Amino acid sequence: MRNRAFYVLALLIVLITGGFIWRLHVLQIQKYDYYAVREKNNYTRFVTEEPVRGRILDTKGRVLAYDQTAYNVAVVPALSKNATLTKENLLKLGAKAEDVEAAFESSKLYPFQPMIVIQDLSESDRLKVLEVENYDPAVKLVLGSKRVYPYGQLGAFITGYVGRASKEDLQRDANLRPSSIVGKMAAEKVFDSYLRGQPGVTEVLVDVSGRVVKEKLASTPVKGYDVYLTVDMDLQKVAWDAVASEVGGVIAANPKDGSIYALVSKPSFDPNVFVKGIDSATWKEYEKNSSLVNRMTMSQIPAGSTFKVVTGLAGLYYHAITPSFTINDPGYLQLGSARVWNYGHRSWGKVDFIKGLAVSNNVYFGTVGLRTGIDRIYEVAKTLGLTDYPWIEYDAVSKGTVPNQQWKKEVIGEPWYPGDTVNTSIGQGYVAVSPILMAQVYQQIINDGELYKFRFLKEVRDGKTVVFKAEPESRPQSTIYKSWFPVIREGLEAGVDWGLLKGLKSDLYTAAGKSGTAETERAKKYHKWLIAYANRSNPEIMVVSLRLYTTDTEPVKITKTVMEGYFRGKAAVR
């Protein structure tokens, strides 16, 4: 009996072992091609996780933009059993139709990439999403972040805002995906490479039927760097309040290194409205008021009498006049049957170069323009950078226009007349420049032709470690006029000492500057300019103020308020 049991057991072992060997043969030999093809048809997808974006801070460490934890709704189109139903579910939850369609469009290239369609859910809305998740696996409640701008409109043209990567963004940067958050304007856009960080990556193995077989974390997200700006929000608030309800703005900067301390443009906008998606009513209001247009970098308007320094410089450089060149001003300049008047039709008697600048005399600089010639004025304006884009760390800027005979013939289709020369000489007519371009001109006057790039970046940090410290950049833009800049500065100082800008005087500083009043197409409404700097012996701040279509001709109030705010703030630090 024992032998019989032994033989039965041995037979069973042989049969079982033989079965395993045969099965192994079938899998590895006979069906090798089948499983090889099946394995080959499995494929890997890469799903990214957005990192926490770096903060934007002012020069004193006050936070202008940061990421805050938020619950969001995402859709993974590849997991949808019924695309139409999934879209309906998302719309019921409050997603915008265009965002849903964009998510499904992106799924053609990135089917397993969660696409955010609703941001910053309330607690009650979260519960609704959890209910939908139970029967629609494509809809996901995810913990993510939202961008917050605590200063709102006050810092809008400094921070800008962020948004999903557009088609243009994706074409420009191969590292981006449709789910990527990128800067769309101002510091968010200009310094995006520092702020963005590195996304996390998960490898997703998917079989031929589209089912997820395996997931593997390849890398975790890396937070973006913090970006510190040269802007001082104390001075920004002073400038904001000084502009009040006017349409226009202020630029305050250090002329000796290009650091921008304040940048105000009104009307402004709230960058926070772009985080969840701007509604149509707000968008229409912004469009109506051109609230997204930075008037200090984008305006193309006549410079008015602030342009007279260009005309004067051309006259001096080409020896059409000397500083002592004098006219007897009757209050107007006769051009055939037409007259070009001084502001207020005032006669100033004997006027030389310094007095001409100090009292902003149209007759004097119209005469200088005629003696010099438009082509020479144009060449000086071009050398100063007025026919180019400004040199600034900013994304939204406009090119300047200073006309000459060729320009008028090509653009207007008309010949050049002496009246065109006079109009150009006093910053009217076809002259069209932005405040930042005129700021460049006056910066060169201060620095004897050296031009410093206007900049916002102070430094970049990883926690407390400084990984990049910005340094001033400069170039000898117009040093060929170096010997004549002191004459220009003397005229700008006289304007404050006894000329039209006496109201700019203060016990806190010694200033120099030039105002300008440009006529507009609207009756009795003007573009009011003032460009000034202080202190004279060692300029540390320059201020450009602009009021568009204003009826108030008082020249100094905004600039004086900003300058005094700067020097009071400096004294308080001491």
> Could you report the per-residue pLDDT of 374-392, keeping only the tens digit for each?
999 999 999 999 999 999 9
- Between 486 and 283, the more confident residue is 486
On the question of pLDDT at 1 being above 70, the answer is no
CA nearest 263: which of 186, 170, 169, 336? 186
pLDDT at 37 over 60: no
In the predicted model, is pLDDT for residue 498 greater than 90? Answer: yes
Q: Is the bond preceding residue 418 a cis peptide, omega within 30 degrees?
A: no
Banded pLDDT at 7 (limits 50, 70, 90): low
How far is the C-alpha of 326 from the C-alpha of 353, rounded, in Å?
Answer: 7
- pLDDT at residue 14 in the model: 56
pLDDT tens figures, 395-429: 999 999 999 999 999 999 999 999 999 999 999 99
Q: Tokens 């910066």 — which residue?
A: 443
Contact 316, 322 (CB under 8 A): yes
pLDDT in tens, 246-259: 999 999 999 999 99
| 287 has pLDDT over 50 | yes
Please write the tens of the pLDDT for every residue from 95-117.
Answer: 888 888 888 887 777 777 888 88
* Residue 24 binned pLDDT confidence (cut-offs 50, 70, 90): low
Answer whether 291's CB lies under 8 Å from 391's CB: no
Answer with the residue of higher pLDDT: 542 or 115. 542
The residues pairing with 459 across neighbouring beta strands, listed in sequence order, are 228, 469
The per-residue pLDDT of the chain, averaged, comes to 89
**Distance, CA of 2 to CA of 204 (rounded, Å):** 57
pLDDT class of 26 with cuts at 50, 70, 90? very low
pLDDT at 6: 57
Assess whether pLDDT exceeds 60 at residue 436: yes
Q: How far is CA 352 from CA 323, 356, 364, 480, 516, in A?
A: 7, 6, 8, 24, 19
Residue 19 has pLDDT above 60, yes or no: no
How many distinct helices (H) and strands (E) make up the chain? 21, 23
Contacts of 331 (CB under 8 A, 6+ apart): 341, 342, 345, 346, 347, 348, 363
Handedness of CA 468, 188, 97, 176 (dihedral sign): negative
Q: Confidence class of residue 213 from pLDDT cuts 50, 70 and 90?
A: low
Least confidently predicted of 174-178, 334-338, 465-469, 559-563: 174-178
What pLDDT, on a 0 to 100 scale, did the predictor assign at position 196?
A: 93
Comparing 365 with 70, the larger pLDDT belongs to 365
Amino acid of residue 397? V
The yes-or-no verdict on residue 38 having pLDDT over 50 is: no
Pair 203, 113: CB distance under 8 Å: no
d(CA 301, CA 7): 107
Residue 50 pLDDT: 79
pTM: 0.88
C-alpha to C-alpha distance for 310 and 379, rounded to whole angstroms = 10
Neighbouring C-beta atoms of residue 388, cutoff 10 Å? 12
Binning pLDDT at 50, 70 and 90, where does residue 191 land? very high
CB 202 within 8 Å of CB 537: no
3-state SS track over 254-304: CCCCCEEEEEEEECCCCHHHHCCCCCHHHHHHHHHHCCCCCHHHHCCECCH
Is residue 197 within 8 Å of residue 222, measured between CB atoms? yes
CA 24 – CA 30 distance, rounded (Å): 9
